[in-house]
């Protein structure tokens, strides 16, 4: 049986690009329908078709209400920030339609027998990775894996410099810093390439920082210049500003090559040409650049390294073409960034290499070219209540930059006697304040044995796979009571929803996109100004995690709490045990990083879904009683008033009186 072609897809915020492995076993870029290397990640929802890429970008200024761009920046949110055809659309459905387009381009070149790896910023959290995989499913792409963009870039670099053997093994140990500034996201990662291993040492980034922010600043600057010359306010007109942001992107590219660029702007019958100098541009965007410098310094510190430990600096992402980027990097590190690798192509090429190694491993178990060890980009923890202060806290279980896969077990104790359930609210983020972290899921551990004493030990185990997926297990000490908790993810799409979006994103000939959307939701056009959370008709609403109806809630009053022995400095040192970890889909994976944390103080208790749900229920009851109270008291008031009037003026025609 022929091996499927290995494909790498760099699904970018502003542009996407794909690569394949050619007959010589080298990565090669797949050109799109127009013969271009890059496909703009822009989607136009026309009446009867979904248009992706250059053609969509061209009509963006004509139909701004039907255009979706920079959707990758919004992945993880429930809906794209603007309704399309009056309908709220999840960002993964938009990315799904971009991937559909890319899939067709790939099929034109390699046929339909291919399997792909899609890349994500290293800094993407767990829900964003899952949403990216969902987008691939919507597009009907056979996904091998999701891989981090800097890891892919490092692989491409290894290939390009002949640093990897044909089997993909590094010839010597070097440390590479990958600075990746794309259209909408930024991350910086330190990777160690050594024979047999590609290991991420530390990563950090910002999913809300990229070339687009430079565009926005430039557009704002042009609008200000226009205003100061003509006293005409452009900035307050959102549609004009949208077009201006698109127009200045070209000027920004020009400024990477020349000292000056000119932007032509016409508004309210006045036309003008605004000239911008490169140094002026660099001055207005200094703050953005400094943000990336700050993160770069932080990552180096997190990796426990200095610039002397870094062998190469790779610049990845189209925005690193701005001369201010290599200049800043060189000033910071005194290392001249490596220019041997094309910043647009590196990630897709590396993803194709990664896909081919994974496919090889699947078909030939003895093939072990190298191991890829990533780290957790964010800390994972549980919401607990500090017992002494009753403050809610994010109790971190797997700290950021822990090598993956990792398994960490932490001891907790029950808080009350005869406790029958606990809630594990999983948080991702660095802050001790739960409100500043993202809640990625929750689960309820029910039916604890009867008559458990207060302070009974319960251990919670987080297993974080190298694919950055999390599973949670709870176990009662000295009892055969061990439960793998099914994590209810806050924003997961069900398979039915994925199927529905797949149908919508792939309209058959003659079917109107708007009709499909409305048919699917069974309603007419919704008000574009309605906030996303209040849209009752989207399929997403059915996925908000609730306690399963089949599992009756525990009685209120028998609150379900755990107390936790916090991982403080007083706790005993973590015991690292190395055990082989096998993932059915991927074959043998790197050594698992395992920790058993022991500790006794201070103690935390968990918030409970019962409390949470009960609070909501009580709020609804209170509101209902309030409304009823008002209606009934108004009715009584009217009746009493009418009665008194009738008694005072028995002959009057009150209906007549009121109608006057
Ligand atoms: P990527 O996500 O890696 O495709 O990067 C896209 C971003 O790179 C967009 O914001 C582009 O405007 C930006 N970009 C591409 N080429 C250049 C250039 N020559 N100068 C400045 N920015 C560029």
Across the range 196-213, mean pLDDT stands at: 88
Domain assignment present for residue 291? The answer is no
Reference 474, options 485, 486, 490, 488; nearest CA is: 485
Co-location of 112 and 80 in the same domain: yes
User: Are 380 and 269 within one domain?
Assistant: no
- Domain tally for the chain? 4
Q: How far is the CA of 621 from the centre of ligand 1 (A)?
A: 53
Q: Is 597 a domain residue?
A: yes
Query: What's the CA-to-centroid distance between 540 and ligand 1, angstroms?
Result: 33
Domain boundary among 610, 633, 648: 610
In a domain, 329, yes or no: no
Concatenate the DSSP letters of all residues of 561-605 into one string.
-EEE----TTSPPPEEEEEEEEETTTEEEEEEEEEE----SS-EE
Q: Judge if the beta carbon of residue 246 lies within 6 A of ligand 1.
A: no
| One domain, residues 21 and 91 | yes
Residues 83 and 101 reside in one and the same domain: yes
C-beta of 105 in contact with ligand 1 (< 6 A): no
Above pLDDT 90, what percent of the chain?
40
264 and 130, same structural domain? no
Q: Which residues contact 14 (CB under 8 A, 6 or more apart)?
A: 40, 41, 69, 70, 182, 183, 184, 210, 211, 212, 318
Region of poorest pLDDT, from 34-48, 80-94, 356-370, 601-615: 601-615
Same domain, 402 and 539: yes
Please report whether residue 391 resides in a domain: yes
Do 426 and 566 lie in a common domain?
A: yes
First to last CA, the chain: 90
Is residue 181 included in any domain, yes or no? no
Same domain, 485 and 423: yes
Domain that holds residue 395: 376-491+535-610
CA of 449 to the centre of ligand 1 (A): 59
pLDDT of residue 540: 27
Residue 230: which pLDDT band, with cuts at 50, 70 and 90?
A: very high
Which of 76-85, 105-114, 157-166, 221-230 shows the lowest mean pLDDT across its residues?
157-166
Distance from the alpha carbon of residue 321 to the mean position of ligand 1, in angstroms = 7
pTM of the complete model beyond 0.75 = no
Residue 178 in any domain: the answer is no
Cα–Cα distance measured from residue 295 to residue 290, given in angstroms and rounded to the nearest whole number: 9
Contact between residue 26 and residue 159 where contact means Cβ atoms under 8 Å apart: yes
Q: Whose CA is nearest to atom 19 of ligand 1?
A: 253
Distance between CA 372 and CA 401 in Å, rounded? 14
Are 638 and 573 within one domain? no
**CATH number of the structural domain spanning residue 263:** 3.90.640.10
- Where does a domain end: 259, 286, 313? 286
Q: Are residues 502 and 586 in the same domain?
A: no
541 and 575 inside one domain: yes
pLDDT of residue 59: 86
**Weakest-pLDDT range from 176-180, 232-236, 305-309, 614-618:** 614-618
Do 463 and 548 lie in one domain? The reply is: yes
Ligand 1 atom closest to 13 (CA):
2
Q: What is the pLDDT of residues 25-61, one digit of tens each?
A: 889 999 999 999 999 999 998 887 889 999 999 888 7
Last residue of a domain, one of 229, 257, 286: 286
Cβ proximity of 572 and 550 under 8 Å: no
User: Is 424's pLDDT higher than 60?
Assistant: yes
């Amino acid at each position: 049986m022929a091996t499927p072609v290995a494909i790498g897809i760099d699904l970018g915020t502003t542009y996407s690009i794909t690569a394949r492995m050619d007959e010589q076993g080298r990565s090669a870029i797949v050109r799109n329908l127009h013969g271009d290397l890059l496909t703009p990640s822009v989607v136009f929802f026309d009446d009867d078709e979904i248009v992706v890429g250059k053609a969509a970008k061209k009509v963006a200024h004509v139909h701004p209400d039907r255009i979706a761009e920079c959707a990758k920046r919004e992945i993880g949110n429930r809906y794209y920030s603007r309704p399309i055809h009056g309908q709220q659309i999840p960002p993964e459905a938009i990315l799904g339609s971009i991937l559909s387009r890319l899939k067709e381009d790939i099929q034109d070149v390699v046929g339909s027998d291919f399997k792909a790896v899609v890349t994500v910023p290293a800094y993407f959290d767990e829900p964003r990775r899952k949403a990216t995989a969902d987008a691939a499913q919507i597009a009907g792409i056979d996904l091998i894996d999701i891989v981090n963009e800097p890891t892919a870039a490092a692989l491409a670099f290894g290939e390009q410099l002949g640093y990897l053997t044909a089997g993909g093994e590094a010839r010597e140990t070097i440390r590479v810093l990958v600075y990746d500034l794309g259209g909408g996201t930024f991350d910086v990662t330190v990777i160690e390439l050594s024979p047999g291993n590609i290991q991420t040492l530390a990563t950090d980034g910002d999913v809300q920082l990229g070339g687009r922010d430079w565009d926005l600043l430039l557009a704002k600057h042009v609008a200000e210049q226009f205003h100061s010359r003509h006293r005409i306010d452009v900035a307050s007109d959102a549609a004009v500003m949208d077009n201006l942001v698109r127009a200045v992107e070209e000027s920004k590219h020009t400024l990477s090559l020349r000292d000056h660029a000119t932007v032509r702007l016409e508004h309210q019958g006045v036309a003008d040409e605004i000239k911008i100098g490169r140094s002026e541009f660099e001055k207005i965007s200094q703050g953005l650049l400094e943000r990336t410098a700050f993160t770069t310094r932080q990552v180096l510190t997190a990796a426990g390294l200095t610039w002397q430990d870094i062998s190469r600096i790779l610049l990845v992402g189209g925005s690193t073409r701005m001369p201010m980027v290599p200049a800043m990097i060189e000033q910071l590190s005194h290392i001249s960034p490596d220019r041997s690798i094309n910043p647009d192509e590196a990630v897709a090429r590396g993803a194709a290499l990664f896909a081919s190694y994974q496919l090889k491993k699947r078909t030939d178990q003895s093939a072990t070219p190298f191991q890829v060890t990533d780290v957790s980009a964010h800390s994972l923890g549980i919401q607990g209540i500090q017992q002494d202060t009753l403050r809610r806290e994010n109790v971190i279980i797997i700290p950021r930059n822990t090598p993956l896969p990792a398994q960490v077990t932490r001891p907790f104790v029950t808080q009350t006697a005869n406790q029958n359930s606990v809630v594990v609210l999983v948080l991702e983020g660095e802050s001790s304040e739960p409100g500043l972290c993202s809640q990625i899921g929750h689960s309820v551990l029910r039916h604890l044995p009867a008559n458990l004493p207060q302070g009974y030990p319960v251990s919670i185990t987080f297993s974080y796979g190298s694919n950055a997926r999390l599973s949670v297990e709870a176990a009662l000490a000295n009892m055969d009571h061990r439960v793998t908790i099914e994590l209810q993810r806050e924003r997961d799409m069900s398979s039915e929803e994925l199927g529905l979006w797949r149908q919508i994103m792939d309209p058959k000939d003659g079917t109107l996109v708007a009709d499909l959307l409305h048919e699917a939701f069974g309603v007419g056009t919704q008000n574009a100004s309605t906030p996303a959370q209040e849209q009752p008709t989207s399929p997403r609403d059915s996925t908000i995690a609730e306690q399963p109806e089949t599992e009756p809630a525990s009685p209120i009053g028998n609150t379900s709490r755990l107390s936790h022995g916090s991982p403080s400095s007083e706790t005993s040192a973590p015991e690292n045990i190395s055990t082989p970890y096998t993932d059915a889909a991927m074959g043998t994976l790197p050594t698992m990083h395992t920790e058993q944390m022991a500790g006794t103080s201070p103690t935390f208790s968990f918030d409970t879904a019962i409390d949470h749900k009960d609070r909501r229920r009580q709020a609804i009851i209170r509101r209902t009683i309030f409304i009823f109270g008002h209606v009934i008291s108004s009715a009584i008031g009217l009746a009493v008033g009418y009665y008194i009037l009738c008694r005072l003026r028995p002959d009057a025609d009150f209906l007549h009186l009121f109608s006057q």
